[in-house]
Structure 1
Amino acid sequence: MSEELEGKHGVQSLEVGMGILKAMVFGKRSMMLKDIAAAADMPPSKAHRYLVSLIRSGLVEQDPLTSRYNLGPFALNIGLVAIDRLDRIRLGLAAISELRDEINETTALAVWGDNGPVIVRWERPRRPITVNVVTGTTLGVLSSAAGRVFAAWLPNLTRPIVKREVETRRNLPPGVETLADADALLASVRDRGLAAISGNYMFRGVEAAAAPVFNFKNELTMALVIVGVEGSIDMGEQSAVLARLKGAADALSLRLGSTRGSDAAALPSA
């Protein structure tokens, strides 16, 4: 067999092992052997043999008390290295840290996941009372500030989810009853250049704002978010805090090569 043909065939055992790792990642928790086997669509005995090798390589570890399996230290290192090598994420993390220092509010970085924006990191302010944000949380589209940013500038990607939220009445904000209402809400977000929610946020007593960050293709790539206790952030049109949020997002967009400038609110990405 030629090297070219062998390369095209790949290594089946490696692909099976990756299937087990994917099952564990999508499981989002420590898992029992039977659950991993079921998720990977293989007999438990076969899954166990692969798990033994994955444990030896450091990609998986097993809790001796519960017998549950979880991702191991080497898998976590791979994830950290991958994140570190993504310039947009690294720059975004620096941006929310600097913004936190400027405004002394909880800041966060959101990227698009499978079913909505996902918080990848957050920074705690120096305040006695703060709002904690759970890393890895997938937010609603119409009910969260970050979700509205993605829906406003990525309509083709988010339209099915917006439609589903309207049809299922899932955490709809006041005044949104139809798709037309949702479209009007998102148009106002584009007009303002950011999304700000106070008084009717998805969690009682919490308010939030988010601003879009664009890449060198002038496409929305992530959102900078601030979150605070209700009444702690000026949500008005002349708010200095929201101006700093928008300024930080615009500066990051410029750093990523965007040419949309401060008028980036004008048109949504296709």
Structure 2
Amino acid sequence: MMSNSDKRSKGVQSMEIGLSILDVLIDQREPMKLKNIALSMQMHPAKMHRYLVSLIRKKYVEQLGDGSYALGIRVDALRQAGLNQNNVMEQLIKIATDIKDSLYCGVQIAKWFNEGPIVIKAIEPDTPISIITRVGSRMPLVTSATGQLLASYQPLDTIKPLVLAELQSTIKASVSTVFEEEGTQVETRTQEIEKQWQQYEQSLHEIREQGYSCVTGDMMRGINAFSIPIDMQYALDDSDALAVSNNRQLGHSITVIGTAEQLPYSKKKSIINQMLSISQSYIRP
């Protein structure tokens, strides 16, 4: 009997054939006749034609007036999307580097994925003290500035299970009273989790409204972090200097991390303004 892992490893043959046809057209770099495509794929022309019909329907291939086949508009769209993605990352790195040079602290770029906020780039400071998070790390939603900011731009039904899981894993340490009955313990922990969730939900509204988040020693003692939203696809208006439009989910965040001496909470407004000024210089048209 074939195991589930064996089934998954086999993949979908028809999809692989379709992508291979696109590879042939990409490598050829010019329109091809049906017989030549079939020859390259070592496939009967009649069978090849069926694949081409499907690719044409999805606009990955187009048939020209002379009967030859060329790459369709969806391939161009994929190519452009890849270029745009690379350009966005280049711009994000420039913003993060400028913030690092301005505040002399480590900076991280994060993005929201299905499992939560993930660090996709870390810029180390040019100082002996380097506080940075490893690329690929999932940032906690409750105790990190990055997590709080990105969570504030997500639907509540998306983040609530993730937040409750985090609270559940830490609630035992926060509830220090020992009860005689186990049922009382469970009930008290449930009440405490619900109370913390309500407080967290309220904080999300505040973060979204002000357009930034900050934590002071919540994740690591003596370490402060300030996070701002970055949306490279839209420019910020003067009237919206601190917040991205409420009508869309946030793409990325940039967070500066340093000691309490490097990033004192008393200078929060100045730090945030510096970060926003740098980011807006890149995303304004």
Question: The TM-score by the shorter chain falls in which range?
Answer: 0.5 to 0.7
Residue of structure 2 in register with 1:197 after alignment: 215
Q: CA contact under 8 A between 2:228 and 2:254: conserved in structure 1?
A: yes
Runs of 4 or more consecutive aligned structure 1 residues displaced over 6 Å after TM superposition: 170-173
Instruction: Give the structure, 1 or 2, with the largest relative contact order (CA under 8 Å, sep 6 or more).
Output: 2
1:110 aligns with 2:127: no
TM-aligned CA distance change 1:150 to 1:127, over 3 Å: same
TM-aligned CA distance change 1:171 to 1:184, over 3 Å: farther
1:88 aligns with 2:106: no
TM-aligned CA distance change 1:83 to 1:129, over 3 Å: farther
Kindly tell me the number of residue pairs found equivalent between the two proteins.
181
TM-score when normalising by structure 1: 0.57
Q: CA contact under 8 A between 1:84 and 1:90: conserved in structure 2?
A: no
Alpha-carbon distance, 1:102 to partner = 1.7
Alpha-carbon distance, 1:171 to partner = 11
1:169 aligns with 2:166: no
1:162 & 1:193 partners in 2: Cα distance? 20
Q: Give secondary structure in 1 for the equivalent of 2:147.
A: helix
Unaligned stretches of 5+ in structure 2?
A: 1-11, 21-81, 175-191, 235-246
Residue of structure 1 in register with 2:14 after alignment: 9
Q: CA contact under 8 A between 1:208 and 1:225: conserved in structure 2?
A: yes
Residue of structure 2 in register with 1:209 after alignment: 226
TM-aligned CA distance change 1:237 to 1:171, over 3 Å: farther
Indicate the RMSD between aligned Cα atoms, in angstroms: 3.4
Unaligned stretches of 5+ in structure 1?
A: 1-6, 16-81, 256-270
Alpha-carbon distance, 1:84 to partner = 8.2
Q: Give secondary structure in 2 for the equivalent of 1:141.
A: coil
Higher helix share: 2
1:109 & 1:148 partners in 2: Cα distance? 14
Q: Give secondary structure in 1 for the equivalent of 2:266.
A: coil
Query: Residue type of the partner of 1:150?
Result: L
Residue of structure 2 in register with 1:234 after alignment: 264
Q: CA contact under 8 A between 2:108 and 2:121: conserved in structure 1?
A: yes
Query: Residue type of the partner of 1:109?
Result: I
TM-aligned CA distance change 1:109 to 1:170, over 3 Å: farther
TM-score when normalising by structure 2: 0.54
Q: Give secondary structure in 2 for the equivalent of 1:133.
A: coil
TM-aligned CA distance change 1:116 to 1:96, over 3 Å: same
Residue of structure 1 in register with 2:254 after alignment: 224
1:186 & 1:83 partners in 2: Cα distance? 33
TM-aligned CA distance change 1:91 to 1:209, over 3 Å: same
Q: CA contact under 8 A between 1:213 and 1:252: conserved in structure 2?
A: no
Q: CA contact under 8 A between 1:83 and 1:90: conserved in structure 2?
A: no
Q: CA contact under 8 A between 1:143 and 1:171: conserved in structure 2?
A: no
2:92 & 2:274 partners in 1: Cα distance? 15
Q: CA contact under 8 A between 1:111 and 1:119: conserved in structure 2?
A: yes
TM-aligned CA distance change 1:222 to 1:160, over 3 Å: same
Alpha-carbon distance, 1:186 to partner = 1.5
1:155 & 1:108 partners in 2: Cα distance? 24
Q: Give secondary structure in 2 for the equivalent of 1:11.
A: helix
Identity across the alignment (%): 16
Q: CA contact under 8 A between 1:197 and 1:207: conserved in structure 2?
A: yes
Residue of structure 1 in register with 2:278 after alignment: 248
Q: Give secondary structure in 1 for the equivalent of 2:251.
A: strand
TM-aligned CA distance change 1:130 to 1:91, over 3 Å: same
Alpha-carbon distance, 1:230 to partner = 2.7
2:220 & 2:93 partners in 1: Cα distance? 24
Alpha-carbon distance, 1:218 to partner = 4.6
Q: Give secondary structure in 1 for the equivalent of 2:94.
A: helix
Alpha-carbon distance, 1:209 to partner = 1.1
Residue of structure 1 in register with 2:185 after alignment: none
